[in-house]
Homo-oligomer: A and B are copies of this chain.
Amino acid sequence: MGRYSIGVDFGTESGRAVLVDVASGVQLATAVYPYRNGVIDETLPVSGVSVALAPDWALQDPEDYLRVFQTTIPDVLRASGVDPAEVIGIGIDFTACTMLPTTADGTPLCVLPEWRSEPHAWVKLWKHHAAQPEADRINAVARDTNQPWLDRYGGKISSEWFFSKALQILDEAPAVYAAADRLIEAADWVVWRLTGDETRNACTAGYKAMWSKRDGFPAGDYFGALHPDLTTVVDDKLQRDVRRPGERAGGLTPEAAAWTGLPVGTAVAVANVDAHVAVPAATVIEPGRMVMIMGTSTCHMVLSADERTVPGMCGYVEDGIIPGYFGYEAGQSCVGDHFGWFVEHAVPARYAADAAARGIDLHELLQEKAAALRVGESGLLALDWWNGNRSVLVDANVGGLLVGATLATVPEEIYRALVEATAYGTRVIIETFEEHGVPIHEIVACGGLAEKSPLIMQIYADVTGRPFRLSASDQTPALGSAMHAAVAAGPDAGGYATIADASRAMTRLKDEAYVPIPENQAVYDVLYREYVRLHDYFGRGENDVMKVLKSLRAEARAAAPALAPAEA
């Protein structure tokens, strides 16, 4: 008798399920459900009313998440021909922080008629950026009161995170806040819908809600300093019992069994975050190898047996990725988006015509041309700050820079310089980790960018001086969730005792490796020194021209609202 598990990965635009063989990790079937209401950033999808959203808002419809279960799990069962009784567990991973207010039984406020036209009753998606004033307050009060947890997050809490969003609800819609018996990550909410039991997971709590295994959540007086009504938020609306990755959250309810076609009681794992669940799925269960999820932005994760304060990282959480280790996260906010911006805004018509004639896309054309350039030949150097700098500067107000252009500069040279800039940014992160006691000798990459571009991977290997390997799975997060499902089911059911066991059995790397080429490294070492000099000059306060420019831009736009198109 076979043993299978299902991982469900909730992304920004869609959810996808993967059904895998628990013994080998082989993927038997995949199914995708694009959310009916997608990212809600203009008006609420409520018939009969028109509720416009302010800029920077990004909401979702929780019923879309349930439709993912209702469609993709029956789909993968059908496509694989697997007997539902042979599925030993389900695991899920989610974007984060993506959170919503619910009643005590888990009913989202936004499905209730009295709250349906209230934007704050809906799910706030990870990229909802309207809570910046609340994040500023959270940071200011934390600094003023010397909160010990602030260092764990590179000294800064993001507007994307849990309490920024919670406080925005309280500030702007106190009635919603009062009506919300629970404030909960969507990750935990879907697990609750499957099992009937409310659980909270260490990954979102640790990385997005200032929780730690040793100290729990920040103290009530800290929350009270933010807003008197927030003093008891944890006890009122969250849960102090935070569960580790791979634990069993519960079993499928009859209702959820009916949605999915799986037996009642099938094990459901504690929720997880998409990037973090990818780490063991990319074979990494020990310190020394960093996982990079490379897409529109890049998320870097590395494990350490010791607690180290590394400046400028997104955060670290004990047991946050693999129980027994501190999981460190860093980020680059502009990677695929960087190249996408260039292709959309800065590539001439003759290139577009050439690509169209050859039936390839502009990225392929530019990478082909850029690959013909030698290291250093472009004569260009860029700072990859088109979307600010997450790690290690933690500064959204720096901007992009390109230096060295001449009248002979051609588009593929700029494209290559932008790729190289993101690689230098990665090297800064690696070196910062190493300088603070978190060694990194190899990188495992996954995500679309890693799989599609050998040129980009070779540049990263040459710039960082580290070999780059690729995860064999093209659905690394979903595979990770399926692994956690197997651990939640446990060895007695045919699963595994630990995530490490599951990782060893169910994952592998692709055979090819991108190994640094010494001649290229030598030139990149020179260029990297120049990058670091510009990075520090513009990024560490010596020349604040980027901030001056952003502030002039904001003033000009405020003065001319009629002319200002919405920010992308």
Whole-angstrom distance between the Cβ of A414 and the nearest chain B Cβ = 8
- A residues 338-353 near B (Cβ < 8 Å) are 338, 341, 344-349, 352-353
What residues of chain B lie closer than 8 Å to A400, measured between beta carbons?
402-406, 409
Point out which of A403, A538, A548 has the most chain B C-beta atoms below 10 A from its C-beta.
Answer: A403
B410 touches A405 (CB 8 A): no
Q: Is A373 an interface residue (CB 8 A)?
A: yes
Query: Is the CB–CB distance between A381 and B545 below 8 Å?
Result: yes
The reply on A376 being an interface residue by CB < 8 A is yes
- Which residues from B are CB-within-8-Å of A399? 379, 403-406
**Among A209-217, A269-277, A510-518, A526-534, which stretch is in contact with chain B?**
A526-534
* Residue A563 interfacial (CB < 8 Å): yes
**Residue of B376, B403, B408 touching A552 (CB-CB under 8 A):** B376
Chain A 284-316, CB-CB to B under 8 Å as 1, else 0, gives: 000000000000000000000000000000000
Q: Chain B contacts of A556 at CB under 8 A?
A: 373-377, 523
Determine the chain B residues whose CB is within 8 A of the CB of A552 once the complex forms: 376-377, 379, 523, 526-527
In the assembled complex, which residues on chain B have CB atoms less than 8 Å from the CB atom of A33?
none
Interface string of A369-407 (1 = CB under 8 A from B): 000111111111100001100000000000111111111
For residue A401, which residues in chain B have a CB less than 8 angstroms away from its CB? 401-405
Is the CB of A52 closer than 8 A to any CB of chain B?
no
- Closest residue of chain B to A380, judged by CB? B549
Task: Fill in one digit per residue for A549-566: 1 if any B CB lies within 8 Å of its CB, else 0.
Answer: 110110111011001100
CB distance from A251 to the nearest CB of B (A): 44
Interface mask (A496-529 → B, CB under 8 Å = 1, otherwise 0) = 0000000000000000000000000001001100
Whether A241 sits at the interface, judged by CB under 8 Å, is no
Given A386-B407, A546-B403, A549-B380, are A559 and B348 also a contact pair (CB < 8 Å)?
A: no
Interface residues of A in 422-458 (CB under 8 A from B): none
- Is A144 on the interface with B (CB-CB < 8 A)? no
Choose from B353, B387, B409 the contact partner of A349 (Cβ within 8 Å).
B353
For the complex, give the distance between the alpha carbons of A414 and B401 in Å: 12
A348-B352, A534-B545, A543-B537 in contact; A568/B375 too (CB < 8 A)?
A: no
- Give the distance in Å from the alpha carbon of A538 to the alpha carbon of B387 in the complex: 24
| A197 CB-CB contact with B under 8 Å | no
Residue of B373, B378, B543, B567 touching A408 (CB-CB under 8 A): B567
On chain B, the residues within 8 Å of A557 by CB distance are 374, 377
Question: A3-16 interface mask toward B, CB cutoff 8 Å, 1 = contact, 0 = none?
Answer: 00000000000000
With beta carbons under 8 angstroms apart, the residue of B337, B375, B411 that contacts A346 is B411
Q: Are B404 and A549 in contact (CB-based, < 8 A)?
A: yes
Q: Closest B-chain residue to A346, C-beta based?
A: B346
Residue from B344, B372, B378, B533 in contact with A543 in the complex, judged by beta carbons closer than 8 Å: B533
Contact call B409/A345, Cβ cutoff below 8 A: yes
Chain B hits for A87, CB < 8 A: none
Contacting pair A548 B560 (CB below 8 A): no
Cα A381 to Cα B551 in complex, Å, equals 13
- Assuming the contacts A345-B410, A411-B345, asked whether A378 and B553 have C-beta atoms less than 8 A apart, the reply is yes
A405 touches B402 (CB 8 A): yes
Q: Cβ of A334 < 8 Å from any Cβ of B?
A: yes
Contact partners of A386 in chain B: CB under 8 A:
405-407, 409
A377 to B400, CA, bound (A): 16
- Which residues of B lie under 8 Å from residue A337 when comparing CB positions? 407
Collect the chain B residues with CB atoms within 8 Å of residue A402's CB.
Answer: 400-402, 405
**Distance from A393 Cβ to chain B, minimum over Cβ atoms (Å):** 15
- Asked whether, in the complex, the Cβ of B376 is within 8 Å of the Cβ of A555, the reply is yes
In this complex, which of A405, A414, A537 has the most chain B Cβ atoms within 10 angstroms of its Cβ? A405
CA A548 to CA B346, docked complex, whole Å = 25
Which of B352, B378, B546 touches A404 (beta carbons < 8 Å)?
B546
Chain B residues within an 8 Å CB radius of A404: 399-401, 545-546, 549-550, 553
Residues of B within 8 Å of A347, CB to CB, are: 346, 348-349
With A537-B543, A548-B530 as known contacts, state yes or no: A345 contacts B345, CB within 8 Å.
no
8 A–B contacts, CB within 8 A, in A order: A346-B346, A348-B348, A349-B352, A374-B559, A377-B563, A401-B401, A404-B549, A408-B568
Known: A344-B348, A404-B553. 13 other contacts (CB 8 A): A346-B346, A346-B414, A374-B560, A374-B563, A378-B553, A379-B552, A386-B405, A399-B405, A400-B403, A401-B401, A523-B556, A526-B548, A527-B552
